[in-house]
């Protein structure tokens, strides 16, 4: 139920995407529905490959991204994705054509070399992690750019630089797909087989080492798998934005769940969705490269999770905050009603709105609004043409609880924590709303079931709270444990 | 008995009133009420998680206050920063930073310089004197990572001395320090006190607390006791401080954090 | 491999540019030097504050600012670019703070999300309009110092063509698309470099204290948050100025390499700053000659040269270099241990 806002937002987004695509790109005359059918029907081979490729890259990036995000390796992922560029260039040079296997091998080797260099710099110099990452990122990338621009000038060159930098899903061919499928399958398999090893080393490496896990090997393996994902995504997303596909879907998943296996699943799902959406829009428009579109799709998903995530989403938290404040308001009103009644020694049931307003130092209208809220929550009923308020049994119970909490806490702070009596009121104003029943029992015990607060007022006891049906009996039953 | 109109009574160096401080929304200090007179060497002791460092940081204005206030010489701390010296914990700093010992001590003088001024000869001399006092002058040109724990602590102390403040806050200056450094620091603390400075020192070791400080503040999320050492260093008060009887406070603090 | 590595000819590749091609050589080398100096000096403070990759982030997201300017069909003159870059830089910093403060997403992931999203946005915006405005994605992204657009004809500075360029008066040498003149570009970059150096000199102690010990900075009355945002703002301005010559992507190298190299060679900040400038000069010079030899991207060559210098320093640094460490380890087995106790280096 609480996932509803997120899912609703998501469906809206998905429906809106083609409309935006329409406004930003040059779309051919056939309608969007036609295009969608063509895209998803797998008839067109290059389109088919683009679609399958996006799905594969989404899954593998999402999966690896999950580990990166929890290990705080996001910037390492970024470095790795830039460091593969010279490998791509060299792989290209191997055969002077875009042989996916050669490029794959070259890219992986370059990635591993980059990772090793980062570790080496960290171990042998005073430079910190972020500096080491930056050095490798920038240098390797520059070497790659140098090589690629050199290649562009060579005779017989077939490369397009933009493709490598920003991706082009349309250029994915059959052999690319096979490679991507193999690599993704391998990644999924390894993560599945070695899930617990990966989990324990991600969470607490020191503990894992002490428990005998080969932490270093596992880390190298993870780096390798990461390099694989980078290479898989390279064609479609481009070198610069691969790290986004690693981080963003996983971060969105991170906001939505507290369990690792669900995180990985969600990350893969979001990766897949972003990939497909990006490819689809790239298909609809003619002049926008695929990579940025996929990344924007992933960012939108993240934004949805950021605002509407059921537990951690910003809007949801704000809404929860508001309902909490409303509850606190209601409880304060109940407390005020109790105080008014107490002031006249519980003579009579009703409290006029005017008395309530005076007590709480607010206007009559505000008091009316408060009592309406109480009525809505079945804590009170209105009498005398809406001018007086009577508490229901539930309302009475809650009122007693609040007053009891407040006074117990004041007593505790004064007696046990030795805080000056005139300082304890403000604290108690806050604490009274959050004390749980367990804690209240403990407090009562610690204070030897005292019956008076630091200001000499009675603390409503158990008898009053469980008396329920007729709150207003003879005065004695309402003054704590006096009857015991 | 006429009142001398020209003589003004200076407000106490440090005053806390109903101080409640939260850390990540979890209340760590409750309702601290305290007034510390001039020329006192006060030790703050309590168990781990008692809020000792938090109290110092709140006094310095480094943490927001949930309620209450702090006054340094009668003013909010922002107005009196120059009169406050701070010796933080050693872990708070990157020791690979490319500065020398002298550079660090000179930083203590920055508060006395304007926005774009450079340290003058006088500032350098003061820095040198402070280094001499902590017996670190031979190391003046060394980069700070080439120092032992005790030496690092002394550099921090020299920096605080260079600030020439009237009130000093120190966060565990004796932690992880060799015996020679420890006695050197104690000597300096007493010298400062003799000059009329006020010192608030977070301390981690009970036996030495009795020796080093004139007054003690026993802290465990709230103030258990404050007063001259002989009066306060008593079994039942220490038991209150270090014993776990106030778990309720922690539970409630946790509840506040969750529900807000 | 013959095709990959052309023959190295001393006369052609080292001497000729300084004689026959002097004018254009000078402009290019100066531009590179100014960019490297401005970025390198500023980058030192990023390194000290452990924010090296935030520099990377900002330099990518500046593209978004430019993209917005392009979409709004604004004139791409200096002032507009500066403002666009500044805005983009501030937005990035804000987004990072918001994500990282209001959710449990950590800072590194927040940085990654912020800049990649903005960068993607920028590329999309620029692509949409690229038919209509002469901004070349390639040029903006990885720059091309010596692009001489005669209509849409892209040249690179091979020696054979250097002579042609030289015959045109500098004022008529245009960079493609933006209609910005090259000589004024270099001068402007020079001013930026000078401004950075000046600001660092004037606010030396404020920068020092807030980088070293923010708590002390606060107690001295220095507002560390303000310094942080000011640094980010300066970074955005420097980045956008450097755009045209080395492009967004390679600015990161210029931010980190000079400072990192200098850090390997000295432990005193003033010396480090001086060495940074030296690295900028040497790297630019060597890089230029590398580019004329290999006939490749000049900006890339600057960085490769800078990297080579870094590797040299890493290896040969008198106290901290790999050789020195190896040497020490060898000698340690022969001599008794020293008295000085070193604090164990805290690994962050």
Please indicate whether, in this complex, the C-beta atoms of C123 and A292 are within 8 angstroms of each other: yes
3-state helix, strand, coil in chain B (%, to 5): 40, 25, 35
The tokens describing C275, both together, are 């060495």
Does one domain contain both A178 and A238? yes
Please indicate whether, in this complex, the C-beta atoms of C3 and A155 are within 8 angstroms of each other: yes
A345 φψ region: left (φ > 0), alpha (ψ -120 to 50), beta (else):
left
> Any CB–CB contact under 8 A between C55 and chain A?
yes
Task: Kindly state whether residue B42 falls inside one of the protein's structural domains.
Answer: yes
- What is the distance between the alpha carbons of residues C300 and A414, in angstroms, rounded to a whole number? 71
Out of C3, C127, C304, closest to residue A287 by CB? C127
Chains that touch C (3 or more CB pairs under 8 A): A, B
With a CB cutoff of 8 Å and minimum separation 6, the contacts of A201 are A208, A213, A215, A218, A219
The pLDDT of residue C168? 30
Does one domain contain both A284 and A377? no
In chain C, what residues touch A141 (CB-CB under 8 Å)?
249-250, 253
% chain C with pLDDT above 90: 26
* More confident position, A326 or C247: A326
Cα angle value A225/A227/A231 (rounded, 5°): 115
How many domains does chain C contain in total?
1
In chain B, what residues touch C263 (CB-CB under 8 Å)?
98
CA C246 to each of CA A302, B63, C69, C236, C284: distance values in angstroms, whole numbers, following the listed order: 32, 43, 20, 15, 11
* More confident position, A129 or B48: A129
The tokens describing A391, both together, are 């508490």
Phi and psi dihedrals of A351, rounded to 5?
A: -120, 125
CA B23 to each of CA A154, A381, B58, B257, C96: distance values in angstroms, whole numbers, following the listed order: 62, 42, 10, 9, 22
From the list A438, A437, A444, the residue with the least C-alpha distance to A409 is A444
The pLDDT of residue A22? 55
Asked if pLDDT for residue A380 goes beyond 50, the answer is yes
Asked if pLDDT for residue C321 goes beyond 70, the answer is yes
At residue C178 the predicted structure's pLDDT band, cuts being 50, 70 and 90, is very low
The pLDDT of residue B8? 67
Out of A130, A287, A299, closest to residue C113 by CB? A299
Task: Kindly state whether residue C158 falls inside one of the protein's structural domains.
Answer: yes
- What is the distance between the alpha carbons of residues A89 and A96, in angstroms, rounded to a whole number? 10
Average confidence score pLDDT of chain A: 81
In terms of DSSP bridges, do strands A388-391 and A380-383 run parallel, antiparallel, or are they unpaired? antiparallel
- What is the distance between the alpha carbons of residues B113 and A411, in angstroms, rounded to a whole number? 51
Contact C139, C147 (CB under 8 A): yes
Kindly report the nearest CA distance between residue C105 and chain A, in angstroms: 7
Please indicate whether, in this complex, the C-beta atoms of C252 and A138 are within 8 angstroms of each other: yes
Q: What is the mean pLDDT of residues A258-287?
A: 87
> Any CB–CB contact under 8 A between C292 and chain B?
no
Asked if pLDDT for residue C327 goes beyond 80, the answer is yes
> What is the extent of the structural domain holding B229?
14-253
> Any CB–CB contact under 8 A between B93 and chain C?
yes
Q: What CATH code is carried by the domain that includes residue A216?
A: 1.10.3470.10
In chain A, what residues touch B222 (CB-CB under 8 Å)?
413, 417-419
The pLDDT of residue C76? 64
Does one domain contain both A209 and A344? no
> What is the extent of the structural domain holding C155?
10-331
Q: Which chain A residue's Cα is nearest to C347?
A: A128
Asked if pLDDT for residue A26 goes beyond 60, the answer is no
The tokens describing C261, both together, are 């190299």
Kindly report the nearest CA distance between residue C162 and chain B, in angstroms: 44
Kindly report the nearest CA distance between residue C140 and chain A, in angstroms: 12
Task: Point out the least confidently predicted range of A270-274, A314-318, B212-216, C241-245.
Answer: C241-245
Q: Which contacts of A384-392 are long-range, i.e. CB under 8 A and separated by 24 or more positions? A: A384/A350, A384/A352, A386/A353, A387/A352, A387/A353, A387/A354, A388/A350, A388/A351, A388/A352, A388/A353, A389/A337, A389/A350, A389/A351, A389/A352, A389/A353, A389/A356, A390/A349, A390/A350, A390/A351, A391/A334, A391/A337, A391/A349, A391/A471
Q: What is the mean pLDDT of residues A181-187?
A: 90
How many domains does chain A contain in total?
3
Q: What is the mean pLDDT of residues A382-406?
A: 84
Q: What CATH code is carried by the domain that includes residue A421?
A: 1.10.10.10
Alpha helices in A286-436 (DSSP H): 290-308, 314-343, 353-360, 364-376, 393-415, 424-431
- What is the distance between the alpha carbons of residues B234 and B217, in angstroms, rounded to a whole number? 12
The tokens describing A467, both together, are 């008396």
- What is the distance between the alpha carbons of residues B233 and B214, in angstroms, rounded to a whole number? 11
The partner residues of B215 in beta bridges, in order of sequence, read B42, B228
Q: What b/e readout covers C142-164, taking b as 16+ CB neighbours within 10 angstroms?
A: bbbbbbbbeeeeeebbebeebee
The string of pLDDT tens digits covering residues B198-238 is 999 999 888 888 889 999 999 888 888 899 999 988 888 88
Three-state DSSP class for C316?
helix
Q: Which chain C residue's Cα is nearest to A305?
A: C103
> Any CB–CB contact under 8 A between C272 and chain B?
yes
Please indicate whether, in this complex, the C-beta atoms of B61 and C218 are within 8 angstroms of each other: yes
Please indicate whether, in this complex, the C-beta atoms of A417 and B30 are within 8 angstroms of each other: yes
Chains that touch B (3 or more CB pairs under 8 A): A, C
The tokens describing A304, both together, are 């949805």
% chain A with pLDDT above 70: 85
- What is the distance between the alpha carbons of residues A150 and B162, in angstroms, rounded to a whole number? 59
Question: Helices A393-415 and A424-431, interaxial angle, to 10°?
Answer: 140
Cα angle value C254/C196/C251 (rounded, 5°): 20
DSSP calls for C98-112: HHHHHSS--HHHHHH
Does one domain contain both A61 and A124? yes
The pLDDT of residue A410? 85
The pLDDT of residue A160? 58
Q: Which chain C residue's Cα is nearest to B87?
A: C216
From the list C233, C235, C230, the residue with the least C-alpha distance to C254 is C235
Task: Kindly state whether residue C336 falls inside one of the protein's structural domains.
Answer: no
In chain A, what residues touch C322 (CB-CB under 8 Å)?
124
Q: Which chain A residue's Cα is nearest to B241?
A: A417
Asked if pLDDT for residue C29 goes beyond 60, the answer is yes
Does one domain contain both A421 and A304? no
Query: Last residue of some domain: A363, A391, A419?
Result: A391
Show the 3-state SS of C153-209.
ECCCCCHHHHHHHHHCCHHHCECCCCCCEHHHHHHHHHHHHHHHHHHHHHCHHHHHH
Please indicate whether, in this complex, the C-beta atoms of A289 and C120 are within 8 angstroms of each other: no
In terms of DSSP bridges, do strands A351-352 and A388-391 run parallel, antiparallel, or are they unpaired? antiparallel
Phi and psi dihedrals of B201, rounded to 5?
A: -120, 125
Query: Last residue of some domain: A312, A328, A361?
Result: A312
* More confident position, C345 or C210: C210
Contact A251, A300 (CB under 8 A): no
Three-state DSSP class for B219?
strand
Size of interface A-B (CB pairs under 8 A): 59
Q: What CATH code is carried by the domain that includes residue A368?
A: 1.10.10
In chain A, what residues touch C294 (CB-CB under 8 Å)?
146, 150
> What is the extent of the structural domain holding A35?
4-312
Kindly report the nearest CA distance between residue A270 and chain C, in angstroms: 14
With the CA atoms of C238, C243, C245 and C249 taken in that order, what torsion angle do they form, in degrees rounded to the nearest 10?
Answer: 110
CA A422 to each of CA A276, B140, B248, C12: distance values in angstroms, whole numbers, following the listed order: 64, 53, 21, 89
Phi and psi dihedrals of B29, rounded to 5?
A: -125, 135
Asked if pLDDT for residue A27 goes beyond 50, the answer is no
Contact C289, C13 (CB under 8 A): yes
* More confident position, C248 or C190: C190
Of A388-402, C37-51, C330-344, where does the model show the most confidence?
C37-51
> Any CB–CB contact under 8 A between A369 and chain B?
no
Residues of chain B with pLDDT under 70: 1-8, 244-246, 260
Contact B221, B28 (CB under 8 A): yes
Contact A234, A83 (CB under 8 A): no
Contact A177, A184 (CB under 8 A): no
Task: Kindly state whether residue A51 falls inside one of the protein's structural domains.
Answer: yes
The pLDDT of residue B124? 92
Asked if pLDDT for residue C179 goes beyond 60, the answer is no
At residue A32 the predicted structure's pLDDT band, cuts being 50, 70 and 90, is low
With a CB cutoff of 8 Å and minimum separation 6, the contacts of C339 are none
Q: What CATH code is carried by the domain that includes residue B163?
A: 3.40.50.300
In terms of DSSP bridges, do strands B67-72 and B41-45 run parallel, antiparallel, or are they unpaired? unpaired
At residue C245 the predicted structure's pLDDT band, cuts being 50, 70 and 90, is low
How many domains does chain B contain in total?
1
User: Which H or E run contains A352?
Assistant: strand A351-352
Task: Kindly state whether residue A397 falls inside one of the protein's structural domains.
Answer: no
Q: Which chain A residue's Cα is nearest to B260?
A: A321
> Any CB–CB contact under 8 A between C266 and chain B?
yes
Q: What CATH code is carried by the domain that includes residue C227?
A: 1.10.3470.10
Please indicate whether, in this complex, the C-beta atoms of A412 and B248 are within 8 angstroms of each other: yes
Does one domain contain both A254 and A369? no
The tokens describing A474, both together, are 């003879």
> Any CB–CB contact under 8 A between A230 and chain C?
no
Kindly report the nearest CA distance between residue C54 and chain A, in angstroms: 9
Task: Point out the least confidently predicted range of A451-455, C88-92, C167-171, C266-270.
Answer: C167-171
Q: What is the mean pLDDT of residues C4-15?
A: 68
The string of pLDDT tens digits covering residues C138-164 is 444 444 443 322 222 222 222 222 223
The string of pLDDT tens digits covering residues A222-242 is 888 898 888 888 877 888 789
The string of pLDDT tens digits covering residues A295-308 is 999 999 999 999 98
- What is the distance between the alpha carbons of residues C264 and B122, in angstroms, rounded to a whole number? 33
At residue A23 the predicted structure's pLDDT band, cuts being 50, 70 and 90, is low
Does one domain contain both A337 and A201? no
With a CB cutoff of 8 Å and minimum separation 6, the contacts of A357 are A363, A364, A366, A367
The string of pLDDT tens digits covering residues A197-220 is 888 888 888 878 887 788 888 888
From the list C320, C342, C321, C324, the residue with the least C-alpha distance to C332 is C324
In chain B, what residues touch A412 (CB-CB under 8 Å)?
248
Q: What is the mean pLDDT of residues A442-448?
A: 82
- What is the distance between the alpha carbons of residues C344 and C348, in angstroms, rounded to a whole number? 12
Does one domain contain both A368 and A232? no
Q: What is the mean pLDDT of residues A133-149?
A: 85
> Any CB–CB contact under 8 A between C206 and chain B?
yes
The pLDDT of residue A399? 87
User: Which H or E run contains B227?
Assistant: strand B223-228
In chain C, what residues touch B94 (CB-CB under 8 Å)?
50, 212, 346
Q: How many residues does chain B have?
A: 260
Please indicate whether, in this complex, the C-beta atoms of A427 and B31 are within 8 angstroms of each other: yes
CA B59 to each of CA B14, B65, B253: distance values in angstroms, whole numbers, following the listed order: 9, 10, 21
The partner residues of B34 in beta bridges, in order of sequence, read B16
- What is the distance between the alpha carbons of residues A244 and A68, in angstroms, rounded to a whole number? 12
Kindly report the nearest CA distance between residue A150 and chain C, in angstroms: 5
Kindly report the nearest CA distance between residue C343 and chain B, in angstroms: 5
Task: Kindly state whether residue C107 falls inside one of the protein's structural domains.
Answer: yes
The tokens describing C182, both together, are 């090259």
In chain B, what residues touch C272 (CB-CB under 8 Å)?
98
Alpha helices in chain C (DSSP H): 10, 16-19, 22-48, 52-71, 78-102, 107-129, 137-142, 159-167, 182-202, 204-212, 214-219, 224-265, 269-294, 298-316, 322-332
Task: Kindly state whether residue A401 falls inside one of the protein's structural domains.
Answer: no
The pLDDT of residue C208? 92
Kindly report the nearest CA distance between residue C222 and chain B, in angstroms: 9
Out of C53, C301, C304, closest to residue A130 by CB? C53
């Amino acid at each position: 139920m609480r996932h509803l806002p997120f899912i609703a937002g998501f469906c809206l987004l998905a429906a809106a995407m083609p409309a935006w695509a329409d406004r930003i790109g040059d779309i051919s005359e056939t309608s969007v529905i036609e295009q969608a059918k063509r895209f998803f029907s797998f008839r067109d081979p290059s389109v088919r490959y683009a679609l399958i490729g996006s799905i594969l890259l989404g899954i593998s990036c999402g999966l690896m991204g999950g580990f990166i995000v929890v290990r705080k390796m996001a910037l390492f992922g970024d470095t790795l994705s830039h460091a593969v560029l010279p490998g791509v260039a060299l792989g290209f040079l191997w055969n002077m054509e875009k042989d996916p296997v050669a490029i794959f091998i070259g890219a992986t080797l370059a990635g591993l070399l980059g990772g090793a260099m980062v570790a080496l710099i960290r171990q042998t110099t005073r430079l910190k992690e972020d500096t080491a990452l930056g050095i490798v990122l920038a240098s390797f990338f520059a070497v790659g750019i140098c090589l690629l621009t050199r290649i562009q000038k060579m005779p017989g060159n077939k490369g397009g630089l933009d493709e490598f930098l920003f991706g082009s899903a349309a250029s994915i061919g059959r052999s690319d797909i096979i490679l991507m499928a193999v690599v993704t399958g391998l990644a999924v398999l390894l993560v599945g087989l070695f899930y617990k090893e990966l989990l324990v080393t991600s969470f607490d490496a020191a503990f894992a080492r002490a428990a005998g896990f080969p932490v270093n090997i596992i880390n190298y393996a993870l780096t390798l798998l990461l390099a694989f994902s980078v290479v898989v995504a390279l064609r479609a997303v481009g070198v610069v934005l691969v790290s986004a596909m690693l981080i963003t879907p996983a971060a969105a998943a991170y906001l939505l769940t507290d369990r690792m296996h669900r995180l990985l699943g969600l990350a893969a799902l979001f990766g897949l969705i972003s990939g497909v959406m990006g490819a689809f829009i790239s298909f609809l428009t003619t002049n926008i490269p695929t990579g940025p579109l996929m990344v924007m799709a992933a960012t939108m998903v993240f934004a949805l999770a950021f605002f509407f995530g059921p537990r951690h989403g910003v809007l949801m938290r704000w809404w929860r905050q508001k309902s909490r404040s409303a509850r606190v308001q209601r409880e304060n009103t109940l407390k005020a009603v109790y105080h008014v009644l107490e002031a006249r020694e519980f003579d009579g049931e009703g409290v006029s709105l005017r008395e309530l307003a005076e007590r709480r130092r607010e206007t009559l209208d505000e008091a009316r609004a408060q009592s309406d809220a109480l009525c809505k929550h079945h804590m009170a009923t209105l009498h005398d043409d809406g001018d007086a308020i009577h508490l229901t049994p539930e309302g009475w119970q809650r009122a007693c609880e609040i007053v009891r909490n407040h006074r117990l806490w004041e007593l505790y702070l004064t007696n046990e924590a030795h805080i000056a009596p005139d300082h304890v009121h403000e604290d108690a104003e806050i604490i009274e709303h959050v004390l749980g029943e367990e804690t209240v029992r403990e407090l009562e015990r610690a204070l030897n079931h005292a019956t008076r607060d630091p200001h000499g007022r009675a603390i409503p006891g158990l008898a009053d709270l469980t008396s329920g049906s007729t709150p207003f009996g003879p005065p004695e039953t309402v003054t704590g444990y006096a009857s015991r | 008995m006429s009142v001398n109109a020209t003589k003004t009574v200076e407000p106490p160096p440090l005053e806390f009133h109903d101080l409640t401080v939260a850390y990540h929304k979890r209340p760590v200090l409750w309702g601290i009420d305290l007034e510390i007179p001039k020329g006192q060497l006060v030790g703050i002791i309590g168990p781990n998680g008692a809020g000792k460092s938090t109290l110092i940081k709140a006094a310095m204005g480094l943490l927001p206050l949930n309620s209450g206030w702090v006054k340094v010489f009668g003013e909010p701390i922002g107005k009196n920063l120059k009169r406050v010296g701070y010796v933080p914990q050693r872990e708070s700093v990157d020791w690979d930073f490319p500065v020398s010992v002298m550079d660090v001590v000179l930083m203590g003088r920055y508060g006395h310089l304007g926005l774009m001024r450079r340290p003058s000869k006088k500032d350098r001399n003061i820095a040198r004197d402070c280094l001499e006092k902590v017996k670190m002058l031979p190391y003046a040109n060394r980069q700070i990572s080439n120092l032992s724990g005790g030496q690092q602590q002394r550099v921090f102390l020299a920096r605080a001395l260079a600030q020439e403040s009237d009130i000093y806050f120190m966060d565990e200056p004796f932690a992880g320090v060799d015996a020679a450094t420890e006695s050197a620091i104690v000597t300096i603390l007493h010298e400062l006190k003799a000059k009329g400075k006020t010192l608030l020192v977070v301390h981690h070791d009970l036996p030495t607390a009795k020796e080093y400080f004139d007054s003690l503040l026993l802290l465990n999320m709230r103030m258990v006791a404050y007063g001259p050492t002989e009066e306060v260093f008593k079994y039942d008060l220490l038991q209150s401080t270090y014993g776990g009887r106030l778990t309720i406070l922690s539970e409630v603090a946790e509840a506040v954090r969750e529900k807000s | 491999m013959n095709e990959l590595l052309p023959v190295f000819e001393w006369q052609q590749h080292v001497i000729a540019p300084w004689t026959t091609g002097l004018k254009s050589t000078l402009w290019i080398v100066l531009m590179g030097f100014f960019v490297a100096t401005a970025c390198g000096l500023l980058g030192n403070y990023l390194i000290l504050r452990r924010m090296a990759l935030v520099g990377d982030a900002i330099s990518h997201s500046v593209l978004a600012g430019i993209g917005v300017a392009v979409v709004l069909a604004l004139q791409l003159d200096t002032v507009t670019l500066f403002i666009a870059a500044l805005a983009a830089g501030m937005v990035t910093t804000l987004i990072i703070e918001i994500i990282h403060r209001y959710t449990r997403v950590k800072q590194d992931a927040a940085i990654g999300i912020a800049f990649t999203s903005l960068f993607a946005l920028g590329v999309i915006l620029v692509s949409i309009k690229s038919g209509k405005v002469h901004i070349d994605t390639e040029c903006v992204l990885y720059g091309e110092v010596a692009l001489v657009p005669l209509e849409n004809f892209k040249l690179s500075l091979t020696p054979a063509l250097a002579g042609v360029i030289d015959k045109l008066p500098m004022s008529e040498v245009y960079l493609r698309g933006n209609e910005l003149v090259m000589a004024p570009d270099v001068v402007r970059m020079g001013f930026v470099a000078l401004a950075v150096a000046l600001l660092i000199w004037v606010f030396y102690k404020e920068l020092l204290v807030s980088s070293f010990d923010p708590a002390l900075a606060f107690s001295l009355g220095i507002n560390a948050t303000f310094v942080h945002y000011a640094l980010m703002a300066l970074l955005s301005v420097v980045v956008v100025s450097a755009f045209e010559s080395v492009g967004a992507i390679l600015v990161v190298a210029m931010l980190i390499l000079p400072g990192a190299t200098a850090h390997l060679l000295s432990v005193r900040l003033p010396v480090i700053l001086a060495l940074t400038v030296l690295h900028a000069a040497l790297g630019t010079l060597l890089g230029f000659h590398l580019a004329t030899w290999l006939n490749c991207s000049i900006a890339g060559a600057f960085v490769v040269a800078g990297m080579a210098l870094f590797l040299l320093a890493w290896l040969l640094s008198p106290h901290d270099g790999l050789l020195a460490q190896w040497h020490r380890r060898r000698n340690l087995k022969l001599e008794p241990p020293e008295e000085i106790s070193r604090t164990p280096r805290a690994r962050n």
